[in-house]
């Protein structure tokens, strides 16, 4: 079982859109996937069909060890794609983590799933909290959407420094450009600088596209909504890059 996260200290940069699209593509690629929405604002549910039926459960039960993680999972929202929706109680995650200092609570929670699940995708809130630190620690790779503005590049640099300082393994961070509007000179300029701006970058840029916005309205991953769109092609490239990062060849 591999664990990845979509994370950025900035909100509204395309983390959830990417997490959902990659989760769907992975599940279609014979890779049993669990998508866990850790953001109490809970946007993932909107992007998945049947969002109304996908209700989050109080995490306290899980945190208190009163219920196994399996009870929180919605099986097969698509074939091969399991989902843990967010719940407002996720806000209290940090308190629990303070109490459990020393162990990685996320790792312990996910351990029972390692037999049947090939890939866990954590969709993170845009905070730098104890929870995020544990995510950064437990994840094999962390994918970071960066909108091509200097402010966003700056916060990417800060994240890199944070991961270095905490000795979490800076190489596990894999940034990619997100919401790129090539009509904007600044976006073009920054994206053209590629890996100079984003060292260890994935070499892909998700375009700013209205079809991505429509995912929320339609409750569909892009591969279902608009598989022939340029943005869908970029998400497929990102999935290929992730597969390469995690397994070199095929999921297994
Ligand atoms: N590539 C894109 N092009 C256009 N809109 C996008 C794109 N990616 C995300 N969005 C929209 O921007 C908003 C924030 O995206 P989201 O993925 O929820 O960001 P985050 O999880 O980083 O907060 C959503 O309304 C989403 O539909
Ligand atoms: Mg989000």
Residue 72 token pair? 């929180």
The pLDDT value recorded for residue 123 is: 96
The pLDDT value recorded for residue 250 is: 59
Provide CATH code, domain 2-247: 3.40.50.300
Share of the chain above pLDDT 90, in %: 67
The ligand 1 atom nearest the CA atom of 8: 22
Task: Flag whether pLDDT at 212 surpasses 60.
Answer: yes
Q: By the 8 A CB rule, do 124 and 15 touch?
A: yes
Ligand 1: residue of 14, 135, 218, 233 to mutate (most ligand atoms within 8 A of CB) is 14
C-alpha to C-alpha distances, 159 to 21, 135, 156, 169, 200, nearest whole angstrom: 24, 13, 5, 12, 13
Residue 116 token pair? 């049947």
Task: Flag whether pLDDT at 117 surpasses 90.
Answer: yes
Higher pLDDT pick, 210 / 50: 210
3-class DSSP state for residue 20? helix
Residues with CB under 6 A from ligand 1: 11-17, 43, 179, 206, 208-209, 212-213, 216, 231
The ligand 1 atom nearest the CA atom of 10: 22
Task: Flag whether pLDDT at 251 surpasses 90.
Answer: no
Task: Out of 114-118, 125-129, 221-225, pick the least confident.
Answer: 125-129
Q: Give tens-digit pLDDT for 134-184.
A: 999 999 999 999 999 999 999 999 999 999 999 998 899 999 999 999 999
What is the mean pLDDT of the segment spanning 193-219?
Answer: 94
Give the residue extent of every domain in the chain.
2-247
- Whose C-alpha lies nearest to ligand 1, atom 20? 12
Q: What is the DSSP string of 64-102?
A: TTSS-GGGG-EEEEETTEEEE---GGGGGHHHHHHHTTT
The ligand 1 atom nearest the CA atom of 17: 17
Which listed ligand is nearest to 38 at the C-alpha? 2
Which listed ligand is nearest to 15 at the C-alpha? 1
Model confidence at 92, in pLDDT bands (50, 70, 90)? confident
Distance 195 CA to ligand 2 centre (A): 25
Which listed ligand is nearest to 37 at the C-alpha? 2
Q: Give tens-digit pLDDT for 19-48.
A: 999 999 999 999 999 999 998 887 787 787
Task: Out of 57-61, 76-80, 145-149, pick the least confident.
Answer: 57-61
């Amino acid at each position: 079982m591999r664990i990845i996260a979509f994370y950025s200290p900035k909100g509204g940069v395309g983390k959830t859109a990417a997490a959902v699209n990659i989760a769907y593509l992975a599940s279609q690629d014979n890779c049993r996937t669990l998508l866990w929405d850790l953001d109490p604002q809970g946007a993932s549910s909107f992007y998945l069909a049947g969002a109304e039926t996908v209700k989050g459960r109080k995490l306290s039960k899980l945190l208190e060890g009163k219920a196994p993680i399996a009870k929180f999972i919605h099986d097969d929202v698509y074939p091969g794609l399991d989902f843990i929706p967010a719940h407002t109680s996720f806000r209290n995650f940090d308190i629990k983590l303070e109490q459990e200092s020393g162990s990685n609570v996320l790792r312990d929670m996910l351990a029972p799933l390692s037999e049947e699940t090939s890939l866990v995708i954590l969709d993170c809130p845009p905070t730098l909290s104890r929870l995020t630190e544990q995510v950064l620690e437990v994840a094999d790779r962390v994918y970071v959407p960066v909108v091509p503005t200097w402010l966003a590049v700056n916060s990417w640099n800060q994240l890199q420094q944070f991961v270095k300082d905490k000795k979490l393994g800076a190489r596990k961070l894999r940034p990619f450009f997100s919401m790129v509007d090539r009509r904007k000179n600044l976006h073009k300029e920054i994206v053209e600088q590629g890996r100079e701006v984003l060292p260890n970058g994935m070499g892909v840029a998700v375009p700013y596209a209205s079809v991505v916005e429509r995912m929320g309205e339609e409750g569909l991953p892009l591969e279902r909504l608009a598989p022939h769109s340029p943005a869908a092609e970029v998400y497929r490239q990102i999935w290929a890059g992730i597969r390469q990062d995690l397994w070199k060849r095929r999921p297994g």
